[in-house]
Amino acid sequence: MPIYEYICPNCGLIFDHFWPSIQAAEGAAPPPCPTCGASQTQRIMSRVAVLGGLGGLTPSEQAAADAQAERLAKITPKEQIEKLRAGRKSSSVQG
């Protein structure tokens, strides 16, 4: 089950969205922002986790990472969002 991270260009929220499959994630429109409801959310390619797949983080590490991401999302300034966008553009992701 892939988890994709999205950023809301309207309010700056970064949030995770669970998809039943990678195919579903690729084929569907991005999920709307859970905070402001904007539908123009953008997927952040740099952080994709697959549950039960690569076995990267332990549950406690994952919880810590999630907590940090949540903290960051709350204080994310516009510059940071721009940086994320720039990084997303410059890094070429091969499927």
What residues make contact with Zn ion under the rule CB under 5 A?
A: 8, 10-11, 13, 33, 35-36, 38
Q: DSSP letters of 3-50?
A: EEEEE-TTT--EEEEE-S-HHHHHHSPPPPPTTT--S--EEEEEEEEE
* Beta carbon of residue 93, minimum distance to Zn ion (angstroms, whole number): 24
Question: Min. distance of Cβ 13 from Zn ion in angstroms?
Answer: 5
Looking at the Cβ atoms of 14 and 25, the one nearer to Zn ion is 14
Identify which of residues 34 and 56 has a Cβ nearer to Zn ion in the complex: 34
Pairing of strands 2-7, 14-18: antiparallel
Give least dist CB 71 to Zn ion, A.
17
